[in-house]
């Protein structure tokens, strides 16, 4: 018997911070700049659905780490969903992000993980404002994006990384760096400010 997957569509904002240098070599060569990949991700769903469940307004934070490149696997993730989400919304977004509903990028990313912690329902503070966005969970983690600056003029340096044929997670990433980027939650513990960050619109579906 073929299991029918619940159709979903998610449109929103992806706030990506990691331990790579600005721009993140994973986008170019597929391997992290410093051997391992450690990242904090913030996702705000602006509109979307999982079956009949409206996912608009759901906020999610992921803390993830891989010992080597993402595609080499053995990763660990902690999933946090804002406590304002309903039980149906939590089930829907968790099913999507753990790859169980199919669709890219999540069905692929899920195969690179060997441990998954959560979802934990917490109050997520999220400020979506381009290269000045940020998110935090009190006592656990915080990430704040800040624009890259031209060293000569001191003005903001706007640089986009674009995948014309479509990227794995996003198609157009507005490059930034971080003024703070840290997490302390069980085995998930790292602190990398001043490294890579992206602000990117995303749209995912399994249809």
DSSP letters along 148-178, please?
-B-TTT--B---EEE-TT--SS-SEEEEEEE
Q: How far is CA 177 from the centre of its chain?
A: 15
At 127 the pLDDT is 98
Residues with Cβ < 8 Å from 49, sequence gap 6 or more? Answer: 8, 9, 55
| pLDDT single digits (tens) 25-59 | 999 999 999 999 999 999 999 999 999 999 999 99
CB atoms within 10 A of CB 192: 20
Euclidean distance between CA atoms 135 and 138, whole angstroms: 10
Q: How sure is the predictor about 2, in pLDDT bands with cuts at 50, 70 and 90?
A: very low
Single pTM value for the model: 0.95
């Amino acid at each position: 018997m073929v299991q029918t997957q619940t159709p979903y569509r998610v449109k929103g904002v992806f706030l990506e911070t990691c331990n790579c240098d600005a721009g993140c070599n994973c986008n170019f060569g597929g391997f992290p700049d410093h051997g391992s990949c450690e990242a904090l991700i913030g996702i705000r769903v602006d509109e979307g659905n999982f079956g009949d469940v409206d996912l608009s307004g759901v906020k999610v934070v992921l803390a993830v780490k891989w010992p080597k490149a993402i595609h080499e696997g053995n990763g660990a993730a902690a999933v946090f969903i804002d406590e304002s989400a309903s039980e149906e919304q939590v089930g829907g977004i968790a099913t999507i992000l753990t790859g169980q509903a199919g669709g890219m990028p999540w069905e692929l990313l899920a195969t690179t993980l060997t441990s998954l912690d959560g979802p934990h329902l917490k109050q997520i503070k999220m400020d979506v404002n381009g290269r000045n966005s940020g998110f935090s969970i009190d006592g656990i983690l915080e990430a704040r994006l800040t624009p890259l600056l031209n060293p000569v003029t001191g003005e903001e340096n706007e640089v986009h990384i674009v995948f014309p044929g479509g990227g794995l997670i996003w198609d157009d990433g507005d490059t930034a760096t971080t003024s703070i980027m840290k997490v302390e939650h069980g085995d998930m513990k790292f602190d990398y400010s001043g490294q890579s960050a992206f602000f990117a619109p995303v749209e995912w579906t399994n249809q």
